[in-house]
Amino acid sequence: MATEDNRLVEQINTVEIIKDENKIKSKTKETVIDLLPQLIASCLMYFLVIQAGISMSFSSVLITQIADNGEIELNTNSASIIASIWSLSLPLGALSSGFLMDGFGRRKTGLFICFPFTISWLIMSFAENVTMIYVARIISGITAGLTTCSVVYVAEISSKTTRSGLLCMNSVWVSFGIFLTYFLNYFNLHWRTIGYVYALMSSLCFLAIFVVPESPQWLLVFNKKENDERKRDQVKSTFSWLYRKQQISEVHYNDLIRSNEIRVVEAVDENDTNWLRNIKRPQVYKPFTILFFLFLLQQLSGGYVLIFYTLNIFRNLGAKFLNSIDERMALVLVGSIRLVMAIIAAALAQKCNRKILLYISTMGMGIFAFIASSQMLNVEDSAHSLFLRHDNNVTSDSLSSSSASNYILLLCVLSYMLFASVGILIIPWTLISELYSIKYKATFGGTSVAVAYILMSIVLKIFPFALETFSISIIFAIFGGVSLTTAIFIYFYLPETHRKTFAEIEQSFMGVKDN
């Protein structure tokens, strides 16, 4: 009887505490200055994600410069391996990131992966043969898979009011990495010099992450080395770092403590971790299948192919195109569009339905890919090889006669990238965290990421051989057809997730209709 009375008193006290905290929340408004520590910590951790964008775009600069100066022997097969081996090795890092993050902490994992990034760029810069380039790309790919610790860290240190915006910044930082590579190439920096710059950046990234606190969730849930009292002191210290106002800091601390206590109770009912048994559940195999085909169509629509082989694609448009348009400036424009549209997409994703953004993205890509394909038919001297050099032996008369059509073609290619960047290159990755329920998100979300990058590596490996077999105009026509097919697939099979709870999304897969 006494025990029941004590529990009743504890429940009443908890209710009163929550009421008091709600009053504090309503009276205390968080200003931009109050949220600044969260923004700083997020940006410092996102320095790791820049490396993913850098590695994506670096293959285009690397392969093209080697083709021009011939300092390392390359052929179509070795060039395709350079581009694809990075995305093929990335799943190894993604699948092992959970073990490292849970075992050593989000912050320590971030500090650790700065070292292999630095080593990979040094190996790249000192490479004397293609094998050393392969090794550098493999190390970089595996390490890039570990950068998921940045997203997990940001999700755990941010408040409800800032979480969605800070998480959307992930694609912005990836896009910044792509832009940075194209920007350095514009100044005609040698690929070895660019490698030295990125090695230095990786070293500085270690110093940046060193100043941020550990995730409070990890300190409380996964830190097994400390006793409960010590862990709670560490969590309090972290919240004091993240929130300028002590009252708000204490409110978030108490919320975390209570949610952790509830999680411990609910964990008793979540012991089924059998992968084969869970994949048979409709709330698992349906989103897994949808994501598989969505990522397959994403890769076949050509957006990532253009990122990895941008310069090579431009050179296959013909000598007149290259001599009437600065290829390095065109590359910077592609990177700029990718960056600006990532920022816009991050803002639109907070207010617009996912399917609407994907419709706009895929239909726009399809239209401009077909227009670009038709314009490419009018470009003379078009060739079919990954190793075309920039030919300056084009007369001014021939340039003036085709200058207008060349700029129309460039506009179509840039518009194609613009529409790709506002939807299909970004949203499928965010859908991984939305389509899977909380119980299955870690296991099957990681599996979907691994499958996506394997598909990417296959397409990147095949593209150079397709370029030798078909004309660039036919390839862009294929991109256009796949883009429009993606819009049809989205209409019939992809559920809308905007402003829906995880429970509502899960029920839709299980055939439960809303009342």
Q: Which residue has the higher pLDDT, 201 or 104?
A: 201
Q: What is the pLDDT of residue 406?
A: 72
DSSP state of 496: P
Over residues 24-31, the mean pLDDT reads: 55
Say how far residue 133 (Cα) sits from the centre of its chain.
Answer: 23
Tally of domains within the chain: 2
Residue 503 lies in a domain: yes
Q: Do 40 and 173 fall into the same domain?
A: yes
Pair 333, 409 in one domain: yes
Cα–Cα distance between 430 and 167 in angstroms, integer? Answer: 9
pLDDT at 324 (0 to 100): 56
Of 387, 398, 385, the residue nearest 321 (C-alpha): 398
Same domain, 285 and 424: yes
Q: Are residues 192 and 297 in the same domain?
A: no
| 110: its two tokens | 């971030």
Over residues 299-320, mean pLDDT: 78
Please classify residue 13 by burial: count the beta carbons closer than 10 Å to its beta carbon, then call 0-12 exposed, 13-18 middle and 19+ buried: exposed
Q: What are phi and psi of 311, to 5 degrees?
A: -65, -35
Query: Higher-confidence residue: 280 or 382?
Result: 280
**How far is it, in rounded angstroms, from Cα 460 to Cα 463?**
5
* Mean residue pLDDT across the chain: 79
End-to-end C-alpha distance for the chain, whole angstroms: 41
The arithmetic mean of pLDDT across residues 447-456, rounded, is 86
In a domain, 345, yes or no: yes
- Residue 169: which of 339, 404, 15, 415 has the closest Cα? 339
- Burial code (b: 16+ CB inside 10 Å, e: under 16) for 75-94 equals eeebbbbbbbbbbbbbbbbb
Same domain for 327 and 412? yes
- The answer to whether the beta carbons of residues 439 and 283 sit under 8 Å apart is no
Residue 102 falls inside a structural domain = yes
For residue 152, count other CB atoms closer than 10 A to its CB: 20
Residue 222 lies in a domain: no
284 falls within a domain: yes
Answer yes or no: do 419 and 283 share one domain. Answer: yes
Residue 462 and residue 379 share a domain: yes
Q: What are phi and psi of 176, to 5 degrees?
A: -65, -40
Quote the crossing angle between the two packed helices 106-125 and 191-210, to the nearest 10°.
160
- The last residue of one of the domains, among 195, 212, 229, is 212
327, 314 Cβ separation under 8 angstroms: yes
Residue 19: pLDDT band with limits 50, 70, 90:
very low
Rounded Cα distance, 183 and 330, in Å: 10
Domain that holds residue 49: 32-212
Residue 162 DSSP symbol: H
Rounded-to-integer distance, Cα 151 and Cα 294, Å: 22
- Shared domain for 198 and 84, answered yes or no, is yes
191-195, 245-249, 360-364, 377-381, range with the lowest pLDDT: 377-381
CB 231 within 8 A of CB 223: yes
Task: Determine, yes or no, domain membership for 400.
Answer: yes
Domain annotation covers residue 172: yes
What digits encode the pLDDT tens for the residues 266-287? 444 444 555 566 667 777 888 8
Residue 486 has pLDDT above 60, yes or no: yes
392: in domain: yes
What are the Cα distances from residue 355, in Å, to 35, 159, 290, 358, 446? Answer: 31, 27, 13, 5, 23
Q: Cα–Cα distances in Å, from 256 out to 157, 190, 362, 366?
A: 11, 50, 41, 47
Residue 317 confidence (pLDDT): 67
Final residue of a domain: which of 197, 212, 227? 212
Asked if 358 and 438 sit in the same domain, the reply is: yes
Q: Do both 140 and 66 map to the same domain?
A: yes
Instruction: Read off the DSSP letter of residue 243.
Output: -
Which residues lie closer than 8 Å to 15 by C-beta, 6 or more apart? Answer: none
At 399-451, the pLDDT tens digits run 444 566 677 888 888 899 899 988 898 888 878 777 876 566 656 777 888 88
pLDDT in tens, 132-177: 999 999 999 999 988 888 887 887 787 766 766 677 788 889 999 9
Q: What is the pLDDT of residues 203-221, one digit of tens each?
A: 999 999 999 998 888 887 7
**pLDDT over threshold 80, residue 28:** no
Domain with 405 in it: what CATH number? Answer: 1.20.1250.20
Residues 188 and 39 in one domain: yes
Q: Please check whether residue 41 is in contact with residue 212, taking contact to mean a CB–CB distance below 8 angstroms.
A: yes
How far is 475 from 477, CA to CA, in rounded Å?
5
For the CA atoms of 502, 505, 507, 511, the dihedral, rounded to the nearest 10 degrees, stands at -170
Sign of the CA dihedral 365, 371, 374, 376?
A: negative
Tell me how many helices (H) and strands (E) the chain has: 23, 0
* Residue that wins the pLDDT comparison between 403 and 33: 33
Token digits of residue 247: 């009252």
DSSP helix/strand/coil, 177: helix
Give helix 148-157 / helix 76-104 axis angle, nearest 10°: 40
Q: In Å, how far from its chain's centre is CA 394?
A: 40
**pTM of the prediction?**
0.78
Per-residue confidence (pLDDT) for residue 395, from 0 to 100: 44
How far apart CA 156 and CA 268 sit, in angstroms, is 23
Please say which residue of 178, 212, 246 terminates a domain. Answer: 212
Instruction: In whole angstroms, give the CA distance from residue 106 to residue 113.
Output: 11
Report which DSSP code applies to 514. P
pLDDT for residue 366 is more than 90: yes
**Tokens coding 276:** 């084969």
Whether residue 512 is predicted with pLDDT greater than 90 in this model: the reply is no
Residues 150, 288, single domain; the answer is no
